[in-house]
Amino acid sequence: MAGRQFDILVFGATGFTGRRIVQHLATDAGFKGKWAIAGRDRARLEALASSLGGGAAPGIVVADVASPDTLLAMARSCAVCINTVGPFRLFGEPVVKACCEAGAHYLDICGEPEFIERMDLVYDDAAKAAGVYVASAMGFDSVPGDLGVQYTIAQFEAPARCTQVESALTIRGGPAGFRGHYPTYQSAVYGFASAGELRKLRKEAEQKRGKPDLKVPGPKLPRQTGAAWDERFNAWTFPFMGADASVVRRTMARVGPPANVSIVFTLPSRMYMTLWQGFGAAFAFLAQREWGRGLLLKYPRMFSYGMFTHEGPSEQQMAGTTFSFTNMGRGYVTGAPASPDQQPDQQIVTRVSGPEPGYIACSIFIVQAAITLLEEKGKLPAPGVHTPASLLWGTGYIDRLRAHGIKFERVESAAVQ
């Protein structure tokens, strides 16, 4: 890729998330290479480029997901393509295809399990043949969840082995509250609607590749199906419905050794949990019906209790919001239980935390991943379709994140409130 015009290219640069990624790349990432912004509107791209100031202006590439020729030309111009154009189930595959054909590495911020797993099934062979890396979920979905689990497992020094990781996501808004942008909400609507397609896809993948051996010694974690108060986290918890759990399972199949993992999110009070359950039940019911999806997509503010809007969060809201993943790892000092029902005898708690997750931290995660691909080639695994941890574990990626305000640390208590 030495002859590529650009080292990194951001596709969808003028969108809400794309602009944050561009700002980080331009001002905070510590990147000195050649880079470009891409999208379908040259005038908007030029306006964005002129607003950045500072160092060398980025190149401009005009490309449209509806025009395969422009996507292929875009992919041929860069070594690493960062794709921010979603929902990915609607617009993502043409970009993946173009990158595999052009021999460009592909990273995106997708949190849609169906798209992520379908790209793995369909494009893994093509990525290997092209000698490129394809990795979805390189934003808030699912870097802190996936890398956080691997970080926790790595704290157990041989012969000890971690066999269970219980992970709790906490998002705290500041005085102005927390808010998300409409495309994230839109992706969730389509995700609930296509749950049946995801099950079919997983069966197809199992038939093609076989079922991975993820057997773990010792008792399994109890399955949580609804709301519960968890004294260890000092919070109400609910099963997390994002992509993290499926991404972590795919990492376990590749990196090993596996552990039993559960992921929940936390809410600070019974009132918030009751609101979440009520709005969640209405959301799930409507998302399964065409007329209901129409209502959900037309009135995002109403059906999300004001959490998602077309305007997205304000600068004040983003500045006051933080996230943390608290990981309670448990395992055996000797590496395995003396009997199948012996409970773990060692516990280590870790935490991954940082600034506002959906846009600020997201930008840090994906830009630093792109830089790692460029600068640490000798530490990367074989090309193909990867999860965040299967691609970047063993590199200096976590140190890069730490240098930009993302903490990976051991802590004494799992309490999040």
- Tell me, yes or no, whether 1 lies in a domain: no
Question: Bridge partners of 61?
Answer: 38
| 257 and 165 in a common domain | yes
The answer on pLDDT for 17 being more than 90 is: yes
The more confident residue out of 272 and 21 is 21
Question: 172 exposed, middle or buried (CB, 10 Å; 0-12, 13-18, 19+)?
Answer: middle
Residue 2: per-residue pLDDT: 65
| 226 and 133 in a common domain | no
Taking the C-alpha atoms of residue 305 and residue 299, their distance in angstroms, rounded to an integer, is: 10
**What is the rounded average pLDDT of the residues 338-366?**
96
Name the amino acid, one letter, at 176.
A
Residue 66: per-residue pLDDT: 96
The answer on pLDDT for 413 being more than 80 is: yes
- Tell me, yes or no, whether 231 lies in a domain: yes
pTM of structure: 0.95
Of the candidates 402, 353, 391, 381, the residue with the CA atom closest to the CA atom of residue 138: 391
> Where are any strands of DSSP class E within 131-246?
133-135, 161-172, 180-181, 228-230, 235-239
| 164 and 130 in a common domain | no
| 78 and 35 in a common domain | yes
- Tell me, yes or no, whether 87 lies in a domain: yes
Per-residue pLDDT band for 53 (boundaries 50, 70, 90) equals confident
- Tell me, yes or no, whether 30 lies in a domain: yes
The answer on pLDDT for 55 being more than 70 is: no
Of the candidates 170, 110, 154, the residue with the CA atom closest to the CA atom of residue 134: 110
| 190 and 84 in a common domain | no
- Tell me, yes or no, whether 135 lies in a domain: yes
Sign of CA dihedral 330, 335, 341, 346: negative
Q: Which CATH number belongs to the domain containing residue 206 in this structure?
A: 3.30.360
Percent of the chain with pLDDT over 70: 99
Contact assessment for residue 15 and residue 40, using Cβ atoms and an 8 Å cutoff: no
CA 271 to chain centre: 28
| 55 and 154 in a common domain | no
- Tell me, yes or no, whether 280 lies in a domain: no
Lowest-pLDDT range of 232-241, 266-275, 339-348, 403-412: 266-275
**What is the rounded average pLDDT of the residues 151-173?**
96
Q: Using DSSP, state whether 175 is helix, strand or coil.
A: coil
> Where are any strands of DSSP class E within 158-281?
161-172, 180-181, 228-230, 235-239, 260-267
CA atoms within 13 A on the CB side of 360: 20
| 154 and 115 in a common domain | no
Of the candidates 415, 416, 309, 324, the residue with the CA atom closest to the CA atom of residue 361: 324
Taking the C-alpha atoms of residue 13 and residue 24, their distance in angstroms, rounded to an integer, is: 12
The residue segments making up the domain with residue 204 are 143-272+311-358+406-411
Of the candidates 318, 221, 233, the residue with the CA atom closest to the CA atom of residue 267: 233
Contact assessment for residue 201 and residue 118, using Cβ atoms and an 8 Å cutoff: yes
Q: Which CATH number belongs to the domain containing residue 60 in this structure?
A: 3.40.50.720
| 324 and 175 in a common domain | yes
| 316 and 188 in a common domain | yes
| 55 and 149 in a common domain | no
Q: How many domains does the chain have?
A: 2
- Tell me, yes or no, whether 47 lies in a domain: yes
- Tell me, yes or no, whether 217 lies in a domain: yes
The answer on pLDDT for 243 being more than 90 is: no
| 20 and 102 in a common domain | yes
Taking the C-alpha atoms of residue 125 and residue 383, their distance in angstroms, rounded to an integer, is: 10
Q: Angle at the Cα of 168 (from 263 to 170), degrees rounded to 5?
A: 130
The answer on pLDDT for 44 being more than 80 is: yes
The answer on pLDDT for 3 being more than 70 is: yes
Contact assessment for residue 407 and residue 352, using Cβ atoms and an 8 Å cutoff: yes
Per-residue pLDDT band for 257 (boundaries 50, 70, 90) equals confident
| 175 and 123 in a common domain | no
